[in-house]
Homo-oligomer: A and B are copies of this chain.
Amino acid sequence: MSGNWGCRFKISLFGESHGPAIGVVIDGLPPGFVPDWDGVRAEMARRAPGTGPLATPRGESDEWEVLSGLFEGAATGAPLCAVIRNTDARSQDYVRGVMRPGHADMTAFIKYGGYADYRGGGHFSGRLTAPIVFAGALARQILRGDGIRIGARILSVRGVRDIDAAPEDILAASGRELPVCSAGRGELMRAEIEAARARGDSVGGIVECVALGVPPGWGEPFFRSLESAAAEMMFSIPAVKGVEFGDGFALSDKLGSESNDEMYMRGGQVAYKTNHGGGVAGGISNGQPIVLRVAVKPTPTISKRQTTVDIRSGETVEHSFTGRHDPCVAPRAVPVVEAGLALCLLDLKKERSI
């Protein structure tokens, strides 16, 4: 696997969906930093399974134990290890040998020679995003001290698109039970998700994430560009198949004169007329809101009958996969995308301080 991430603010993920525990080692918390554990708990709850009608009924509490890196309530400067026990795993739902289409079952089988823990996707499970959210929650608490606020919303689900919204409105939406700007569109999305679930199917969606207050100058040209770092992180989140910044793919249809963000002086400061670039130019933050969008594919595990292979018998089979899965990944991906962006920004912030 490749659970190690970060240059300055480092995380090391571990765990499998149905093993004893999942967790993360975090290296780079400033000594003396006092985590707001209620804040962490709130972030974890947003991602936790079983917390809404759109979510998987798996009832993990996602409560964690901190094994190191804290003393008298404050970060010591040494690595913080947090462990989350797996308490509600129903392994009997998983059929050994029958490869779920769209999932990592087949590639895991090839890569790990059949030794990967097949139950619940093992270490490919979306459950490993819990430690990302945990680490990201700490990262955003640190970033808040720099005046940085991060939020995301569901931009679309199977053709239903939320209204256009300013970054501040996206921030406001991010805390809602269904994080959308238009409650009406949200209901339509909910209906799509419910309809898919009723059919034993699933749907995809797009998550839009913003970061306000990022100072200009974060990120490096070329291989540590803000976009490179953030995209590397986003594509690590299971089910993500596309990432774009600012106007993204839509820029491919535009003229330069429609795409460039013109500048002017306002009160002695450089200001921008537009933000087509999503707050990044030359890989470096320009002081405008960071805007990125992440496409998540429909949950691959569905109960609808599919053709696949049974690797034990070597035969083509038809199979209906049971188990407790979200019919749409997008709602629970919202806090994960936010956490991922927080981790990237903190890592790049530290880089900049050189």
Residue count of chain A within 8 Å CB distance of chain B: 148
Interface residue A338 (Cβ < 8 Å from any Cβ of B): no
Asked, given contacts A108-B284, A116-B71, whether A78 binds B122 with beta carbons under 8 Å apart, the answer is yes
Q: Which of A166-186 contact B (CB under 8 A)?
A: none
Q: Which of A209-252 contact B (CB under 8 A)?
A: 216-217, 220-225, 227-229, 231-236, 238, 240-249, 251-252
* CB <8 Å contact, A216 and B4: no
Q: Which residues of B contact A75 (CB under 8 A)?
A: 115
Q: Distance (Å) between the CB of A315 and the closest chain B CB?
A: 6
Asked, given contacts A76-B122, A232-B231, whether A71 binds B19 with beta carbons under 8 Å apart, the answer is yes
Interface residue A123 (Cβ < 8 Å from any Cβ of B): yes
Bound CA–CA A204/B270 (angstroms)? 26
Q: Which residues of B contact A19 (CB under 8 A)?
A: 67-71
* CB <8 Å contact, B102 and A281: yes
Interface residue A190 (Cβ < 8 Å from any Cβ of B): no
Interface string of A268-295 (1 = CB under 8 A from B): 1010010011100111111000000001
Residues of A within 8 A of B (CB): 1-5, 7-8, 10, 12-16, 19-23, 25, 27-28, 31-32, 65-71, 74-81, 83, 99-104, 106-108, 110-117, 122-124, 128, 156-159, 196, 201-206, 216-217, 220-225, 227-229, 231-236, 238, 240-249, 251-265, 268, 270, 273, 276-278, 281-286, 295-302, 304, 306-309, 311, 314-316, 330, 350, 352-354
15 additional A-B pairs beyond A101-B261, A251-B298, beta carbons within 8 Å, are A1-B77, A2-B223, A3-B222, A22-B67, A78-B221, A104-B283, A107-B282, A111-B216, A123-B222, A206-B252, A238-B282, A241-B246, A241-B248, A264-B316, A265-B316
Closest 4 A/B residue pairs (Cβ): A104-B282, A102-B260, A242-B244, A2-B224
- 11 of the cross-chain contacts (CB-CB < 8 Å) are A1-B222, A3-B222, A32-B113, A104-B282, A228-B232, A231-B235, A241-B246, A242-B244, A260-B306, A270-B309, A276-B297
